[in-house]
Amino acid sequence: MNRITNIVSAAMLVITPFAAQATPEQDLQEFREHFFNKFPDTPKDDFINGVYSIDPASREQWEAFEEFPSYEIFVDKGEELFNKPFANGKSFVDCFPDYKKGIRQNYPYFDTKTDEVVTLEGAINKCLTDNGEKPYQYKTGNIAYVSAYLAYQSRGNNFNVKVPNDPQAMAAYNRGKKHFYAKRGQLNMACADCHFYYPGSKIRADILSPALGHPTGFPVYRNKWAGASASGDGMGTLHRRYGGCNKQVRAKPFKPQSDEYKALEYFHTYMSNGLEVNGPSQRK
Amino acid sequence: MRQTALFIKTSVSVAALTGCLSMITPLIASAADAADIAKGKELAFDRKKGNCLACHMIEGGTLAGNIGPPLVAMKARFPDYEKMKAQIADPRIKNPNTIMVPFGPHKVLSAQEIELVSQFVYTL
């Protein structure tokens, strides 16, 4: 375990592909262009499908899976939990009155009153605690089901994450951006190494997916997670995936819903603005 | 074939013994090399060690990635063995933003392990 380190190399920060002063809008434009140029055969709206947007071979198998998706029963569970009254007689409906129109596309957002990034999972748990209920555990289980239900209700809406003109909001955005491009872990790799510079390449037998469109399909049902769970429940949140990817490079993962991951999600999702919500989705 | 090889080896060592004594040293060294090269290969293929196959096609390895170039014709690409070894120990010297692991400075492989892996890679 002492091999797990959390080294972030300072050198990396100098080489981020964007000028330090770039606005989020400029970042977004360059980010998209990078992937559009790299994958000219992928229709621009198809990046929501992760690795399947660039690999026709695995796409076929995945499409077969999506016909009878394994996440469906968990969307149903999420709906049940969503409508179940709390002890005080209220329910999630009171916290998310617009859920039928779809709300997933607006998360995460920056709350200028609390100076915090608010993720959908964070808002679900806040709704519980505000109403005197016990919060859900992060990463798996009920939190993923309710999130999946809300994503499902939001399908077809375009992501519209905002970075308000506020120094704290910009700071959170930049922290997330830094995390994305900074080398870390004993193996010294950045998210960007695998998902910005080398998507389409194979790392062992896995084809790396483009970061554009990454968050749109979350939460996901992963066959791998299902295999690892006693009940065969493969649902997991975006922060669960972040932890897994940090561990792969022998970096100590941050806690789900830590400031670090919330900031990362803020940047990462902002980079997918304009793409459709297609959560939950099925993954290998 | 094996007998022929043995015969040659024996005759060479006899020649070495009878002739120039200094011939013995290279003979012993090359016998040790074969074992070192085998060890180097094991380290290169071990997922918890070099895991070079994650990114490089290497003869004899399966499920290789293709992030880096295939490791072939290494002597032609690196006439200087030390330069190749330096690339394996710390690829950041050549490319500060490389995705390849800084095996030496990040202590993924020890100096001795880097030597063994390098000897193996130099046979490719």
**Sequence ranges of the domains in chain A:** 3-69+166-283, 72-153
Q: Is B107 on the interface with A (CB under 8 A)?
A: yes
Least Cα distance to B81 among B114, B43, B119, B26 occurs for B119
Angle at A131 between CA A125 and CA A136, to 5 degrees: 30
Identical fold between A3-69+166-283 and A72-153 = yes
Chain A and chain B share a number of CB contacts under 8 A equal to 44
Q: Is B74 on the interface with A (CB under 8 A)?
A: no
Contacts of A121 by beta carbon, 8 Å cutoff, 6+ apart:
A138, A143, A147, A237, A239, A256, A257
Residues of A in Cβ contact (< 8 Å) with B67? 198, 201-203
* pTM above threshold 0.80: yes
Q: Residue A167, preceding bond cis, omega within 30 degrees?
A: no
Calculate how close chain A gets to B23, using CA atoms only, in Å: 43
Across the interface, of A11, A189, A203, the residue whose CB is closest to B96 is: A11
Lowest-pLDDT range of A16-20, A72-76, A156-160, B42-46: A16-20
Name the one residue in this structure whose structure tokens are 């929501």: A48
Residues of A with catalytic roles? 245
Across the interface, of B54, B92, B102, the residue whose CB is closest to A203 is: B54
Q: Quick check: A145 and A236 in contact, CB under 8 A?
A: no
On whether the A72-153 domain is CATH 1.10.760.10, my answer is yes
Residues of A in Cβ contact (< 8 Å) with B102? 188
Cβ contact A204–B101 (<8 Å): no
CA dist A109 and A270 (Å) reads 10
Instruction: Choose the CATH number for A3-69+166-283 among 1.10.760.10, 1.10.240.10, 3.60.20.10, 3.40.720.10.
Output: 1.10.760.10
Calculate how close chain A gets to B27, using CA atoms only, in Å: 38
Question: Over chain A, what HEC string results?
Answer: CCCCECCCCHHHHHCCCCCCCCCHHHHHHHHHHHHHHHCCCCCHHHHHHHHHHCCHHHHHHHHHHHHCCCCHHHHHHHHHHHHCCCCCCCCHHHHCCCCCCCCHHHCCEEECCCCEEECHHHHHHHHHHHCCCCCCCCCCCHHHHHHHHHHHHHCCCECCCCCCCCHHHHHHHHHHHHHHHCCECCCCECHHHHHHHCCCCEECCEECCCCCCHHHHCCEEEHHHHHHCCCCCCEECHHHHHHHHHHHCCECCCCCCCHHHHHHHHHHHHCCCCCECCCCEEEC
Cβ contact A198–B97 (<8 Å): no
Q: Is A112 on the interface with B (CB under 8 A)?
A: no
CA dist B86 and B92 (Å) reads 10
The pLDDT tens digits of the residues spanning A6-26 come to: 444 444 444 455 445 689 999
Q: What is the mean pLDDT of chain A?
A: 92
Across the interface, of B53, B54, B102, the residue whose CB is closest to A188 is: B102
Query: What's the confidence (pLDDT) of residue A231?
Result: 86
The pLDDT tens digits of the residues spanning A112-153 come to: 999 999 999 999 999 999 999 999 999 999 999 999 999 999
Query: Tens of pLDDT along chain B (124 residues)?
Result: 344 343 334 344 434 444 444 444 444 445 568 999 999 999 999 999 999 999 999 999 999 999 999 999 999 999 999 999 999 999 999 999 999 999 999 999 999 999 999 999 999 9
Domain B2-122 has what CATH class? mainly alpha
Half-sphere exposure (CA, 13 Å, Cβ side) for A69? 20
Question: Nearest chain B Cα to A199, which residue?
Answer: B67
Q: Is B57 on the interface with A (CB under 8 A)?
A: no
Cβ contact A203–B53 (<8 Å): no
Lowest-pLDDT range of A17-21, A47-51, A101-105, B58-62: A17-21
